[in-house]
Amino acid sequence: MAVAKTSKTAANVPQSQEELISGSEAVAQALRLADVDVISAYPIRPYDTVMQYVSKLIADGRLDCEFIVAESEHSQFEIVKHACSVGARAFCGSSGVGWMYAMECLAVTPSLRLPYLAICGNRALDDPGAFGTEHNDAMCVRDLGWMLYWVETAQEALDMTLIGYRAAEDQRLSLPCALCLDGAFLTHSAQIVSVPPQDLVNSYLPRFDLGDRVLHPDNPISIAPQANEDWLMEIRKQMDAAMRRAPEVIREAHGEFHRAFGRQGGSPFIEEYMTDDAETVLVGMGTMASPVRVMVRKLRAQGEKVGFVRVKWFRPFGTDEIRTSLQRFKAVGVVDRDFSLGAADMGGVLYNDVRATMYDAQRRPVISGFIAGLGGREIEEKDVLEMFRRTQQAGADGRGGEVTWIGVRE
Amino acid sequence: MAVLEQWRGVKAIPDIEYFASGHRTCQGCESVLVMRYIAKAAGPRTIVTGTTGCMYVANTSYYSTPWTIPWMHSQLGAAGSSAMGTAAGLKALMRKGKIKDEPINVIAFCGDGGGADMGLSAISAALTHEDYNLLMVLYDNESYANTDIQLSGSTPWGAVTTFSPAGTKHRIMHRRWKKNTPGLLAAGHSGQSKFIGTACASYGLDFMNKVRRALSAGGPTFLHTLDPCPKGWHYDPELSHEIGSLAVETGIWPLYEVNEGKLSFTGPTRNILLGRAKRKPVREYLAKQGRFAHFTDEDYDYFQRKVDDMWEHWMIPGVVAFEMDPRDASLLQK
Ligand SMILES: Cc1ncc(C[n+]2csc(CCOP(=O)(O)OP(=O)(O)O)c2C)c(N)n1
Ligand code: SF4
Ligand SMILES: [Mg+2]
């Protein structure tokens, strides 16, 4: 079992450094600190900026790893999967159609229980070609055993890379983990980031150890022989059992991180903003949190009881936290930066997950759904205002279930 | 990389098997012999990955794996990338002192569907990564065998498969000539790869020594084997070895290797080129197989002409599938 000691920051220990870097560079810095062994790259905007920073770190001798520029995303993800099988800490990533090109490899990795880390720089799926953010790419693996986290800031990108490895590699889970970064808004925007010193990271993140599942001549196992109906259901149930353990392991990983670095305290699953006495809240993931928070402050200044709940870990879904949180409110509006055409009430993926979560709540709020910001369209203050107004109105009418596309030209 | 000396004669081959019982392949399956040979030739300090196909589905079942050396499944088009990932992982861990630094062979196998069709780009990419010691073995049973014998880019012209049945309107449904996969890889990659070759399990010693030369060459290497498949080729399983030999003796499947940029022919192919043996008519090979049972004399003639072409007109017989334009031929003579 992967257990790390919490380090006490002593006076002579090197301190963290503040740097003005993008979300992508923050991930690259974390990969350096995590001493990653194998990285495979293939170009696609916007995620590939991570790989540009990685290659520079390697070129400058600051990161010692095998860096393979693959000839396709399929190979990229197979390369890291197999590197991971021999015990190497591995990293990979993609965006949009690139992520989809790797889909087969993404699909098989959780059942192999190979815990590498990937980023999905969220991008709209072609056609037509579009660079902007949309969550459907990463959402495609949501049922398969990938742990998924939606990042908001560059600091969080760095921190979550370390937390992600720690949780994923924990032998109670041994599941792959993807960090989702909104294309452009996060991958390409510079923010002040505190970059921790190496020894602090070393004390937080133990060395990767696959134990008796490592592929090596000293451990001559066969991995993933054909199973069929004899055994597949048991194997799936083991994956389910691992995912059921994930919330606890995630809480531990965040807790230890908070103790060691002083960040990422609070719930790993949700972050509430101005919700104390709120009656109406919006719920969403990723960088949309910024414009929503701005609007929350403006409406609060006018005396309105509004707030925001950001969903952070999406798989595993913070069922308990979300249920406990949202049942306090009268009206909830869920903002999806994805679409799920033909789904229940024609709602987005997050919307229907939230509704399923609230079905067994003691008190059910009225829940409205919104599809917003697709293809990287900015979610502006007026859009947030409209979503609050519609959510409030639905609450007043006691009638949920309506899904509205926001900011669409007629 | 490992240095494996050549076995001089069958008596030098050790008895021990690393690919043991437990598989469920058809009687007379030559592809499974390929597995046994590569494991034997490589020895115990080896990691093998294998793509989906007969050598996975029929070969490696949960709770009855025949592999006594470490083995892992990889996706159908992933022979090249699984080999690269395995080799890269080992390399990084050894360099960084995280595991013992020692030679470990990395072998990835794939079928013709997985390798010559779907996985060709990954195999080609792997052959450019001179940093990694690995061997990719493409076992060619000339169809997508595991899914019920469908034609692949490696299926011979005219053969009946479940996607190319002989019908009343179209006697020949499969009208594509077999892709020259080893030739195209050798022509494209021998500057980067120190070993690219062909083999056939009918010639066991030649086969295993090629595996050992490839593994000792260093860098990424490739071996393409032709494997008679009784189920897909429709013949009596006891004929497998004989049919493999006929593929070579008719000149349809030339045995060669490009070793450090130098081409040499082996086995009966060499004898044909030296004039010590005559190519047998292709009909001797084709007529033994039910998949060609619908052939007319015309079809046999067409097949023979294509094979003759390969020996008489190709720039390098059996390897490089074009010749110089006579107007430019003199340019190369200087
Ligand atoms: C991506 C993908 N497509 C299709 C299949 C179905 N499939 C399983 S085995 C197989 C045959 C592969 O043929 P080949 O590589 O020649 O190996 P063989 O079965 O002939 O040994 C196919 C098509 C698959 N496993 N994966
Ligand atoms: S179908 Fe052919 S390749 Fe597959 S197991 Fe049978 S003989 Fe071997
Ligand atoms: Mg085949």
Distance between B58 CA and the closest CA of chain A, angstroms: 8
Chain segment B318-329, per-residue pLDDT in tens: 999 999 898 998
Give the pLDDT of residue A185: 85
Residues of B with CB below 8 A from A104's CB?
75
pLDDT greater than 70 at residue B4: yes
CB contact under 8 A, B85 and A37: no
Beta-carbon separation of A105 and B75 below 8 A: yes
Q: Which residue has the tokens 């009656």?
A: A279
Distance from CA of A67 to the nearest CA of B (A): 9
Rounded Cα distance between A122 and A96, Å, is 6
The residue assigned the tokens 């047998």 is: B280
pLDDT confidence of residue A228: 84
In the prediction, which pLDDT does A184 show?
82
Q: Is CATH 3.40.50.970 the right assignment for the domain spanning B10-333?
A: yes
Residues of B in contact with A38 (CB under 8 A): 85, 88-89, 92
Asked whether B310 lines ligand 1 (CB < 6 A), one says no
**Interface size between A and B, measured as CB pairs under 8 A:** 158
Flag whether pLDDT at A8 surpasses 80: no
Residue of A nearest to B68 (CA): A220
- Whether residue A254 has pLDDT greater than 50: yes
What mean pLDDT do residues B157-165 have?
98
Q: Which residue of B has its CA nearest to A219?
A: B70
Find, among B244, B208, B245, B202, the residue nearest to B223 by Cα.
Answer: B208
What is the fold of A2-261?
A: Rossmann fold (3.40.50)
Question: Which pLDDT belongs to residue A3?
Answer: 40
Residue B3 has pLDDT above 70, yes or no: yes
Query: Looking at the DSSP assignment, which residues form a beta bridge with residue A121?
Result: A181
Q: Inform me whether the pLDDT recorded for A361 exceeds 90.
A: yes
| Domains in chain B: boundaries | 10-333
Least confident of A72-81, A223-232, A290-299, A328-337: A223-232
CB-based contact, B93 to chain A, within 8 Å: yes
User: Residue B331: pLDDT band by 50, 70, 90 thresholds?
Assistant: confident
Helix (H/G/I), strand (E/B), else coil: A10: coil
Mean pLDDT, chain A, rounded, equals 95
Place A12 in a pLDDT band, splitting at 50, 70 and 90: low
Please state, in angstroms and rounded to a whole number, the distance separating the CA atoms of residues B25 and B13: 24
Q: Do domains A2-261 and A270-405 have the same CATH topology?
A: yes
Compute φ and ψ for A177, nearest 5 degrees.
-135, 135
Nearest Cα residue to atom 2 of ligand 1: B76
Q: Helix, strand, coil shares of chain A as percentages rounded to 5? A: 40, 20, 40
Tell me if A95 sits within 8 A of A183, measured CB to CB.
Answer: yes
Q: DSSP string spanning A248-286?
A: HHHHHHHHHHHHHHS-S-S-SSEEEES-TT-SEEEEE-G
- For chain A, what are the domain ranges? 2-261, 270-405
Give the whole-number percent of chain A exceeding pLDDT 90: 93
What's the whole-number mean pLDDT along residues A143-157?
A: 97
Task: Measure A352 CA to ligand 2 centroid, in angstroms.
Answer: 47
Q: Residue A67: helix, strand or coil by DSSP?
A: strand
Question: In this predicted structure, which of A146-160, A282-296, B54-68, B191-205 has the lowest mean pLDDT?
Answer: B54-68
Kindly state the average pLDDT of the residues B160-187. 97
Arithmetic mean of pLDDT, B31-53: 98
Instruction: Please give the average per-residue pLDDT across B263-278, as a whole number.
Output: 97
Using a CB–CB cutoff of 8 Å, tell me whether B90 touches chain A.
yes
CATH: 3.30.2320.50, 3.40.50.300, 3.30.70.360, 3.40.50.920. Which one for A270-405? 3.40.50.920
What residues of chain B lie within 8 A of the CB of A70, using their CB? Answer: 81, 122, 125
Residues 112-151 of B with CB under 8 A from A: 121-122, 124-125, 129, 131
Contact B234, B22 (CB under 8 A): no
In percent, how much of chain B has pLDDT > 90? 93
pLDDT at A11: 54
Per-residue pLDDT at B332: 81
Q: Is B233 in the pocket of ligand 1 (CB under 6 A)?
A: no
pTM, 2 dp:
0.96
Ligand 3 centre from B111 Cα, in Å?
5
Residue type, A323: R
pLDDT value of position A14: 73
Residue A4: pLDDT band (50, 70, 90) is: very low
Instruction: Determine the atom of ligand 2 nearest the C-alpha atom of B26.
Output: 6
Ligand 2 pocket residue status of B231, Cβ below 6 Å: yes
Q: Does the pLDDT of residue A6 top 50, yes or no?
A: no
The predicted-structure confidence for A364-383, as pLDDT tens digits, reads as follows 999 999 999 999 999 999 99
Select from A250, A231, A252 the least CA-distant residue to A242. Answer: A250
Q: Which band of pLDDT confidence, cut at 50, 70 and 90, is reported for residue B334?
A: low
| 3-class SS of residue A192 | strand
Residue B16, judged by CB atoms within 10 A of its CB (0-12, 13-18, 19+), counts as: exposed
Q: Quick check: B70 and A71 CB within 8 A?
A: no
pLDDT at A13: 56
Beta-bridge mates of residue A250:
none
Is A65 or A410 the better-scoring residue by pLDDT? Answer: A65
Mean pLDDT to the nearest integer, A118-144: 96
Q: For B309-321, what is the mean pLDDT?
A: 95
